[in-house]
Every structure is written in structure tokens, then in C-alpha cells.
């Protein structure tokens, strides 16, 4: 792992990833220190050419995906309602699919007797966090590929990575074919009408699923959560619209893995899915464009006026 968490690639040799300054003594995957036997040899290169290997080459792990699970009280556990956190930490070289991730369960939320633990919530949360490591992370959107395996987001030919890196968010910026900003005019609030800026995932199957679900043929895509901290905003479905879907930002009883999340898995270009296993999403179903494209206040007011 590099000190800046940013790797480079030797020109004309994509097999060598290197650090420009030095290699760290420890490589982390989320909150876990990765065992040395799981790691490739680290390289330090000068002028993008002369490369010196550091340390030893581990045998690696022969698996499709490795999940490191920890139970540590970290800074990300500080919010009182946080039960667990997750992150992906390694991408497959050819198609960019995540191949390693970490889930950390916050131990303070597990204290007490067995009867005091909500196991349904715990199981639902673990499923939720696994989906973050596989696909639902703002840091992965720029790596999505279409059904032919071609990246949605333009790549830098010199590195093979997406072209634009957002230093503030510390993620690569996805193409508008994946993530699109939409402005809703005359959004009704208690304080009056405003222009509301929202971000939507607009990949083909996601778009088709939400149009069918809401019965709104002009819906651009699935809206992302715009509230909460860095671990909630832009990494979950909008709670207002997808209430009990498992990938909304707060837990709801009877949460379901619906066809919407299955569509996102398929639209990433990394997974085949079976939609017959998707659970029904009842919230908002068949309520039309007025429900999905306007504020709660505007929609409720329109019903009260009738």
C-alpha cells in the first residue's frame, strides 16, 4: 500500500502497480491489516520505468472475493445508530470488479445479553454492508462497465484508470451515463419553492426497474440519498422513495433486497443476477411521476386538496 493510497501503473506494462515514494509497512483493507501472504510484492518506481521490488511476494488467495470481518470500535462507529461499516479495498485487474472488502461490526452495539440484540437487524445490516463491498459505493461507480464489458466512464489510456479524480471526495468521477445530476424545479417546501438538486443512478436496468415500479415512463433513474454523513449520502437509495429497500441508509423492519438492487449489481457489469429472487418493494409502487418527482409536502398537499 502506498502512503497516499494512490497507485501508479508502469506505461505499457499494466501488470506493475507501484508507489511513487515508498511502500507502507502495513496494508489495510478498511479496518483490517491484510496478512502479508495475501499481498503482491510492492514496487517503488522512478520516472515510471525503473522499478525496485520491496518485500516478498505472497502466495495470494484462490477465491472470487475475500471478505475481512472485524469487530473494532473505530471512529466510524461513533454515530449512535451505526451498527457496522464497510469498504471495498481491491479491484480485479481486467474488469475492475471488487475482489476484497472489509466489514467492521461496532462492538458497543453488541453489548448486553443475547435477548437485547436485534438479530434480524444484525443479519439485515450484514447483508447491507456486503452489498456495499460488492457494488454500492460511490468509489465504484466510475468503474462500472456496460453489457459488452466496455467502461461507461472514459479511461486514461496511459493508466487504464478513469480520467477524472475528485480530490475532495477521493473518488474517481463517473460518467453521466452512470451518475447524473438532475434539477427539480419548483420543489415545494415549508419555506416555499426551491430548485432541488439530486443525483441519480441512470444505468439501463436500474432505470427500467424504477420506471416500472413507480409507473413513470419519464423517470431518469433511481435517486440517491442526499442527507447524512459521508457514509450515507450518495451511497444509498433515497429513503423518501425506497423506504424498506435494504440499500437505503437507515434500517427499516422487513427490509428487502429488491429488483432495484439486483439491477444495480447487473448494471455494474460484474455480476449475473436472477430477478426471481428479488423481493417485492411495496413503498411507492404504481404511484406515478407525481410521487417520485415531487416533494413529500407537494404530493401530500395534492392528495388533501382532492
Whether 103 and 76 have beta carbons less than 8 Å apart is answered as: no
Q: What angle do CA 111, 113, 115 make, to 5 degrees?
A: 120
- Rounded Cα distance, 84 and 86, in Å: 7
In order, the DSSP letters of 68-81 are: EEE----GGG-STT
Question: In angstroms, rounded to a whole number, what is the distance separating the alpha carbons of residues 88 and 206?
Answer: 22
Which one of 21, 36, 129, 176 is the catalytic residue? 129
Contact at 8 Å (CB) between 219 and 289?
yes
End-to-end CA distance of the chain: 61
Cβ atoms of 169 and 299 within 8 Å: the answer is no
Catalytic residue check, 21:
no
CA distances from 169 to 4, 102, 138, 165, 259 (A): 14, 20, 9, 9, 29
Helix 259-267, helix 119-134: angle, nearest 10: 20
DSSP secondary structure string, 88-155?
A: EEEE-TTT--EEEEEEEE-GGGG-S-GGGS-HHHHHHHHHHHHHHHHT--TTTGGG-B-TTS-BSS-B
How many Å apart are CA 137 and CA 114, to the nearest integer? 32
Enumerate the active-site residues: 129
Amino acid at each position: 500500500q502506498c502512503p497516499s493510497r494512490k497507485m501508479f501503473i508502469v506505461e505499457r506494462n499494466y501488470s506493475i502497480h507501484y508507489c511513487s515514494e515508498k511502500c507502507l509497512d502495513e496494508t489495510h483493507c478498511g479496518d483490517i491489516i491484510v496478512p502479508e501472504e495475501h499481498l503482491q510484492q510492492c514496487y517503488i518506481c522512478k520516472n515510471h520505468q525503473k522499478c525496485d521490488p520491496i518485500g516478498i511476494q505472497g502466495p495470494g488467495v484462490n477465491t472470487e472475493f475475500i471478505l475481512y470481518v472485524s469487530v473494532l470500535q473505530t471512529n466510524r462507529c461513533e454515530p449512535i445508530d451505526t451498527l457496522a461499516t464497510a469498504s471495498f479495498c481491491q479491484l480485479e485487474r481486467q474488469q475492475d470488479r471488487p475482489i476484497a472488502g472489509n466489514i467492521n461490526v461496532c462492538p458497543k452495539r453488541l453489548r448486553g445479553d443475547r435477548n437485547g440484540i436485534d438479530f434480524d437487524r444484525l443479519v439485515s445490516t450484514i447483508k447491507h454492508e456486503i452489498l456495499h463491498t460488492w457494488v454500492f459505493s460511490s468509489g465504484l461507480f466510475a468503474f462500472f462497465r456496460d453489457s459488452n464489458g466496455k467502461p461507461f466512464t472514459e479511461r486514461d489510456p496511459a493508466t487504464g484508470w478513469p480520467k477524472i479524480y475528485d480530490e475532495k471526495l477521493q473518488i474517481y468521477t463517473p460518467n453521466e451515463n452512470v451518475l447524473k445530476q438532475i434539477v427539480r424545479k419548483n420543489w415545494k417546501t415549508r419555506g416555499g419553492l426551491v430548485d432541488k438538486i439530486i443525483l441519480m443512478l441512470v444505468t439501463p436496468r436500474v432505470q427500467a426497474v424504477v420506471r416500472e415500479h413507480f409507473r413513470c415512463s419519464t423517470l431518469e433513474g433511481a435517486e440517491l440519498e442526499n442527507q447524512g454523513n459521508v457514509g450515507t449520502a450518495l451511497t444509498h437509495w433515497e429513503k423518501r422513495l425506497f423506504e424498506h429497500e435494504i440499500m437505503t441508509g437507515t434500517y427499516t423492519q422487513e427490509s428487502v433486497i429488491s429488483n432495484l438492487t439486483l439491477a444495480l449489481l447487473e448494471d455494474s457489469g460484474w455480476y449475473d443476477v436472477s430477478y426471481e429472487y428479488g423481493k417485492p418493494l411495496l413503498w411507492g409502487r404504481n404511484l406515478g411521476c407525481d410521487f417520485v418527482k415531487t416533494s413529500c409536502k407537494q404530493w401530500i398537499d395534492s392528495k388533501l386538496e382532492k
